[in-house]
Chains A and B, each alone.
Chain A
Amino acid sequence: MRFIFKTSYDQDIRLARHGGHMFWYGLLVAFLIVAPWAIDEYWLAQLTFVLIYGIVGLGLMLLAGFTGQFSIGHAAFLGAGAYTQGVLTNMGIPFPIALLAAAALSAVVGVVVALPALRVKGIYLGIATLSFGFIVEEVFARWESVTGGNAGLHVKSPQLFGWSLGSGEGFYFLCLVVAVLSTLGILNLLRSPTGRAFVAIRDSEISAQSMGIHLARYKTMSFAISAALAGLGGALYAHKLSFISPDQFNILQSIDLLLMVVIGGLGSVHGAFLGAIFLIAMPQLISMGKDWLPAVIGQAPGLQGLVYGLVLIAFVLFEPLGLYGRWLKIRTWLQLFPFYRKGLFKRQKSFTKSDRLR
């Protein structure tokens, strides 16, 4: 058990609280760097997907988990990034510039969504973003001269300073660098005044406002950053799949993304990546489990949806803090080992304040 005595305010916002953090995250980064040689190609591809979804998850986590603005149309931003990247690289624009353009354009789209969304909150915001997602999906399908319509769009493999990143390893490292940079960016953002303003808005809009936080500005900013990250993830996603079509960015994808952050654990940066691991690992686990089940159940097409639903229900009912919350409990249990009390993480029952009064 480690006790940290904080003697200065700086200690409160330090990225690594103590040496242990440095050690474990260092180990994680070391593993991620040697991963291409340690695991085979298939798992490396899965790991790349985890990183890509992790980047998108970070964005959604910032919006949903830290600013309290739920978006049920996040796949629209993912798609905006993916299509920008696809169209620009096919035009022969260098990869890094296209990547930045994808993030920037998605951010602009995010601002466009934020403007009507500023007036509404709660479930109305959810429905506004849902509607927006539908409209954008339709735009992808209909704007055939640019996006290729329902036939889809092939994306060239990325080139960076002359050498191709099309191979599994090169692209993996690219994703790793982007993921690490965006994680550090989000962590730094969260300990800055801006990040604290986001959290204040999540906890209570009225009190945040009365503390002098400009709600409209910060909400717009949150949407823009979140959309930019989703666009970044979308751009990488487009390259990884090398083929994009409108039905990859539909409502189910949006719900998948939301499911990812909720299961990962709302309001934690770890949660974004844990959720991404979950989202990638789940189909694998299900297909592995299929062999154990009787054929009638195992071969049925609806099995995956059923398991997703059950897992989601179980998480909301029993572990609202998500996978990260589960890890916190395990860690606390290990730290306090003989003295762990059962009710330590017990939820307080409280009646939510009415949403109608606003």
Chain B
Amino acid sequence: MQILQLLLSGIAQGCIYGLIALGFVLIYKATETVSFAQGDLMMLGAFGAFAGMSLFGMPFWLAAVLALVAMAAFGVLLELVVIRPILGQPQFSIVMLTIGIAYVARGLITMVPGIGTDTHTLAVPYKDQIWKVGELVVNLEQLAIIIATAVLCGLLFAMFRYSKLGIAMQASSQNQLAAYYMGIPVKRLNGLVWGLAAAVAAIAGMLLAPITFVHANMGFIGLKAFPAAVVGGFGSLPGAIVGGLVIGIVESFAGFYLPDGFKDTAPYIAVLLMLMIKPNGLFGEKLRKKV
């Protein structure tokens, strides 16, 4: 029973990592850059929902949808204003740029007087409800995370499989130049991908908020999603979720069975092992250059 309980909390936490990692992977696949700002986009999403609910008194669902839309628009804007001008520069410049964006986001939120420096609770309707299945205690917040992740994955899968937009995104992620030649608006798609990643991050933020509260530094959890993305294989969407689950479960078990201090480092030890054994990750694509 203990194991099942640990597994459940590991899966719930892992879904959050998976969702953030999904943002990395979406951006990496489409534009071959890595966004260090993903965790802070998550924080912005959570704050957006919080602002909608507490400042404007909206009901949860309306606030959530509005925050989602706002974050998607913000992602598109970010790509347009900041990322696009340095497209084609070395990958590392973009990494530094996203670190800069993360700093700005954190700084801006902290500067909001009276709100930015405090921790808040997001009053979701399903807060503090517990189900008992046999001896297993199921927290409804955890259940919501798992269900929402599953639904989101289904939607994304359907989009990439059946919609024209998704197929165009796949095409441009495989070969941008060839996609250009086939008449796919690659630049606009890149913007949309950033928007999508920001929206996914916002969802992760709103799901995480009931568990960890809303505060300006919650974005640092994004750093734990890097191991998730690597374990799953950086270029693979299902890999991101699976990697997230692996990291979440590893963390949850390490926290229980291993001595203090291993809980926070276990994901990083796992990723180092993964890089040593199989650098491409569990689902990583293997491409070789022809000379």
Contacts and interface: CB of A to CB of B under 8 A. Distances in A.
Query: Main SS of the interface on chain A?
Result: helix
A306 B285 contact: no
Contacts of A320: 86, 89, 93
B106 A302 contact: yes
Contacts, number: 160
A306 B91 contact: no
B110 interface: yes
Interface residues of A, number: 53
Contacts of B269: 131, 135
Given A128-B271, A309-B102, A316 B97 contact: yes
Query: Main SS of the interface on chain B?
Result: helix
Interface stretch (B69-77, B133-141, B259-267): B259-267
A251 B219 CA distance: 13
Contact of B110 (A131, A301, A349): A301
Interface stretch (A220-228, A254-262, A275-283): A254-262
Contacts of B230: 124, 127
A123 B229 CA distance: 11
Contacts of A303: 107, 111
B93 A306 contact: no
A302 B109 contact: yes
B272 interface: yes
A313 B223 contact: no
B111 A309 contact: no
Given A124-B279, A316-B86, A351-B88, A302 B116 contact: yes
A53 interface: no
A127 B234 CA distance: 11
A122 B279 CA distance: 12
B103 A138 contact: no
Contact of B107 (A70, A116, A138, A307): A307
A303 B106 CA distance: 10
B96 A262 contact: yes
Nearest to A311: B100
Given A320-B89, A352-B32, A355-B32, A128 B265 contact: no
Q: Which 4 A-B pairs have the closest CB atoms?
A: A302-B110, A306-B107, A309-B103, A309-B104
Interface of A: 70, 116, 119-120, 122-124, 126-128, 130-132, 134-135, 138, 141-142, 206, 251, 255, 258-259, 262, 296-297, 300-313, 316-317, 320, 347, 349-352, 354-358
